[in-house]
Structure 1
């Protein structure tokens, strides 16, 4: 098998994933003949309600949670906002939030604007990361105070794939009586998670990161955790999130979670091997290519590589000419010309941060696609460096 000229080689799965065929098949009846409202008392709506309950169980099974701890939302961003705003409303006497310097904009920008949302002054501690993107647990412990309402730390970074010790961090906050939230959008479906064995209070996920459609997410709320809804309205989601349920997408997310559980081994073996082959090939065939992030403590599908003295946007444009899809960082900030805030926080040199490319694979990627990228990338980088005065100046 080879890659045809018109074939799209998609390696931007941390931005979004294709909807799995099995997921689409599961959704279709609820977009056509099974259109009843799941909250209705009649049988026609009741069978739809049963499908929502089954999906809730499938999500809970993937997370190692109970179905009653699963709240369906519209996306990961809504889930993040709901968890953080719930915590600070629960403890109005506390005015401190702890997060990191490398969070997704869904958390970063919310914490930047808490005063606007609440009308009260808040201060936040943004934890530094090491050069390899990891966190220092002692520094985290030192950041906690009696005024801390919530800690929000992503389970895995969306740009580098670096995994944070959120289970240990949640245990520490539990001892201090502080709520803990993790944005697990990138981690769910890629690494095993068992929330019953953790002290995590809130967890966010987004369907379109694990082969479900866009527009559906989940907020896990540990049983017994104080909670104030973000969206008030009807009695849906046990009064925790108003609004008629997005049934077809909920069913699709349930199916995607069941598929992710079944394919977890493949994610951590075959997909990891493809990622490693791609990474090793790029680092050995292209001079002054740098890996961003811890070499081992990462998601199995993610490789973030900087190519010094070239612009990431120019690299992507040339890759696009070969139908290769990747990213220069988070899809939510791809319109910015500023280097990644994640790479800046890691201390990646300016000459490298601007030329960073994130490759993120999925179970649908093949070895032939990896070989195709390895064939095309050296020439792309060489062509761009030939036009770069910075490359010439630094490699005389």
Structure 2
């Protein structure tokens, strides 16, 4: 995909559609109809209210639609959808599928992130955070919090302060994300060492950390195995297919062809029941562990966020996922090679101390690199760099 800025405007409207949709505005232009008629393309910016909002992230939304989140300095966040007809912009601070969102923002909350139709995070006036989800889905968030108790006491976890059917209010985890080295300065190495040590302490079935929760965990803890990880890859491959098949490599092949070849290779590598069942290799995992999920404070130590995906599985998965992100941060220019090396060395230290098979860490790293290529295909700022992710997976 090209890195040049492209915008979708409200000019040259050819027909009026979905004008009466609740809380949405639909505009269809000749420009967008031509652009997305053959292949769906995510623009760098969306124009609404006469201003260009930079698209930060996008996600597959089903039915050949893509959900997007855009920002404008000093103006906040706007979200909406796009498909072959054009762009739909949701009204500011509204989402028909997230019933708790509007009230939280009206009460003085500040929108932190918003995946339209799925989830929003709001910082409340007292400093706590609210997760807004579809009606009836709040119980899934709470269940994840319960499954994650095994990460205590190594990690601080957000506590559930209140909830209803579509909103969960969580306490603040102190510290800063292990994403920006500038925020940590000389504490970078210490923060990562303590965080990896905290991860190594996790237990899938804690017996003395949270007694009331432990009995539930023994029967309710789901297992994510190698076959499940392969299924995740196929799911993301299909989600990103329209974007991957329109980009070609220097060899003239599409990125989709590279993804398919890599998934075949990784599937064969993951399909090793002896390795995956090795004593000590199964335990509590976050399942989406990366630098933005870990907080660190010099006094209270490490904290862990977004534990909705916590489950049992090969612990090598978390280490491979984290190592893939560390390598990607360097390619993004967000970390220096030396900063990434600190993280990679700490991963190696913990893997060695825990007796984890290096080959299993590597194969899960490959799987993560493939998945990240599919995820970042939806992010305009990075979509022209996803070839690096696939090349890195091929080189392993």
Question: Normalization by structure 1: what TM-score?
Answer: 0.27
Which protein has greater RCO, CA pairs closer than 8 Å, 6+ apart?
1
Structure (1/2) with the larger strand percentage: 2
